[in-house]
Amino acid sequence: MSQTIDHVIKPTPFVMLISHDATESVLMSIKVLPQAERERHTKMVEEKTSDSEGNNGKATGDPTKVKSEEKPSIFNLEQSLMSSLKTLYEKQIACDITIVVGKDSARQEFKAHKCLLCIQSPYFHKIFMGNEVSIEEDLCLYPADETALVLENVSPSAFTIIIKYMYTGKLELAEMTDSMNEYLQLLSTFDTFKLQEPSRILQRLICAKYASVLETNLVAIMLFCKQHPQLHMLNRFIDTVIMERPESFFDSSDFTTLNVEDLIGILKRLDLNIPEIVIWDKIIKWAIAQDPALPENIKKYQSSERLVLRDRLGNILPLIRFHSISAPDFYKKIHPYKCIFSDEYYEDLLEHYLDPRDNVQSLETIFTHKQEVKV
């Protein structure tokens, strides 16, 4: 009987639940609980204990833990540092290099620190750390004792602005004259020293302040950009003007100073929004301007002068889209210059104007495959 009772009535387990909070250490309950209830109660106590440790971190948990708002902050002392660098420059403390800029009587010396120049400018880093000079640009003479650097092609006014920027982070342009040439000179020096941020600021200023002057002297600015391909903003400005307002390029005061290679590069562009007959007029004007001895009236040309004009336009004529020029304009403005075309080339043009339907393919061959054209 007792074995039967023992088998049927098993002792019910019980659990003692004690808070893990050391500050309380009290007996929560001593009672018989079902398994699910015991697990729920245990989880609740653990969560309470975790919260207590996270918020107090004093009596329990890691004593090194503190509230997040009590952690020390990072204090920005950048202004104080820049002020110290400015003092270092103004008082010329512990300078280890002399920069000599300009030529002859315009020479000016600047005391500086190699380490700072190296950090601020890849150009100086290459010279001081690699002991190299730019022979190609012929900008500097670095003597054997390494105590002075001579930059003959850098103006003192431009370098004054640059070295102040390197030590203070400020780009001061107030003392500059209101001259685009002076701004371009400074921009050229920025590019030489590879100072990208000041270069971007100055390019933006030039494009905004001197837009009309840039368009008037478009060829000179284009040649300047050709020498400084890294001036992306100024290059984009020039490209936009040529694409949207090509007449500004052909009407610029210095158009006739353009060399033949750069002129061919412009004529090869397919986005020139300008009548082809206008381009023809400008090309003739450019060709005659290359030799002031040539008469403006083609009818007054001698045989030798015709050959000079023909040779000068030899690589340019195939780039003129004659099929876009009307017959009246062709007869009035192009026919008088028949002598500068080869007989074969001019015959093809005449056939086009006499019966354009039968000669479209011939003209496409001429204008598409420029190397097949003989002029």
Q: What is the pLDDT of residues 205-220, one digit of tens each?
A: 999 988 888 888 888 8
Break the chain into its structural domains and give their ranges. Answer: 2-57, 92-209, 275-375
Average pLDDT over residues 253-281: 90
Per DSSP bridges, beta strands 15-18 and 97-101 are unpaired
CATH topology (fold) of 92-209: Potassium Channel Kv1.1; Chain A (3.30.710)
| pLDDT at 337 > cutoff 60 | yes
Q: Check if the beta carbon of residue 349 is closer than 8 Å to that of residue 322.
A: yes
Which string of DSSP letters, residue by residue, matches 222-282?
Answer: HHHHHH-TT-HHHHHHHHHHHHH-HHHHHTSTTGGG--HHHHHHHHT-S---S-HHHHHHH
| pLDDT at 314 > cutoff 80 | yes
Q: Report the range out of 41-50, 126-135, 168-177, 317-326 with the highest average pLDDT.
A: 317-326
Instruction: Give the model's confidence band at 40: pLDDT under 50 very low, under 70 low, under 90 confident, else very high.
Output: low
| pLDDT at 362 > cutoff 50 | no
Strand partners, 100: 109, 150
Average pLDDT over residues 294-305: 91
Question: What is the pLDDT, as a whole number, of residue 70?
Answer: 57
| pLDDT at 251 > cutoff 70 | yes
pLDDT digits (tens, 9 = 90+) for 80-105: 777 778 888 888 888 989 999 998 88
- Distance, in Å, from the CA atom of 306 to the CA atom of 309, rounded to the nearest integer, reads 5
Question: What is the pLDDT, as a whole number, of residue 110?
Answer: 95
Rounded to two decimals, the pTM is 0.66
Instruction: Give the model's confidence band at 282: pLDDT under 50 very low, under 70 low, under 90 confident, else very high.
Output: very high
Average pLDDT over residues 333-361: 81
CA distances in angstroms from 322 to 70, 296, 326, 367, listed in the order given = 80, 22, 8, 9
pLDDT digits (tens, 9 = 90+) for 4-32: 434 443 444 433 333 344 444 433 443 44
